[in-house]
Chain A
Amino acid sequence: MAEKKKKLSIIVFSGDYDKAFAAFTIASGAAALNYEVNLFFTFFGLNILKKKRGRAFLGKGFWARSFGFLLGGRNVLPLSRLNFAGLSPVILGALAKSRNVAGVDELIDASIKLGVNFYACETAGHILGLQKEDFLPEVQKVIGIGSFLEIQDGGTTLFI
């Protein structure tokens, strides 16, 4: 009988570039080491999941659409410190590439290929007016905290 897989779950709250880097480094590494990995994206973390990677007027209603535009998607994630109007994430990404370290896009692709489970937070999506169709097709489900607690039960859970 196969041994039960170890489990790692991450609540991806932040939409900062460096924290996305950390979340997907841990997620892809753990998945490669045969962990079951569950990512629960909520609030700013949902920006990473958007199909539209730049700035787009997503959502319903004027305020949600305006806020959606300001938040943007995966290509415009700010650095948590020293963002310099979006210049620093570009420099950091280029530095990582020049040193042969995988960037956020590569880590997300690896996570997808390794079968990491993606879940989007229902409530945060509701506030921001985002639907399942606004997210990457890899998002299995839009769920609430009750379902997430059930999914992460018995493993290690991190908050980033």
Chain B
Amino acid sequence: MTVTELDITKEHCPMTFVKTKFALSKLKDGDVLEVFLTAGEPLENMPRAAGEQGYKVLSIEQIDADIHKVVIQK
């Protein structure tokens, strides 16, 4: 199992979703992706979209005033 980090805090729609999708597609079963993102559109939609695509959202944690960490497992 490997853990990969992805920072999309500087990205804007739709690249927030595009970069997450690319990173998720590289995961093997059991691998974990930690996504750092901002509140609003990315936080509201990314975890839901990952769940819909069959990934497991392990946790969502606020780590800064505006930055959240979403941990996703394949």
Contacts and interface: CB of A to CB of B under 8 A. Distances in A.
Interface residues of B, number: 16
A28 interface: yes
B14 interface: yes
A106 B54 CA distance: 27
Nearest to B22: A113
A34 B12 contact: no
B15 to A, nearest CB: 5
Interface string A23-35: 0011011011110
Q: Which 3 A-B pairs have the closest CB atoms?
A: A29-B14, A32-B17, A32-B21
A86 B49 CA distance: 38
Name the residue in B11, B45, B53 with the highest tally of chain A Cβ atoms < 10 Å from its Cβ.
Answer: B53
Contacts of B17: 29, 32-33
Interface string B44-61: 010001001110000000
A77 B13 CA distance: 22
Interface of A: 2-3, 25-26, 28-29, 31-34, 99-102, 106-107, 110, 113-114
Nearest to A113: B22
Nearest to A30: B14
A6 to B, nearest CB: 9
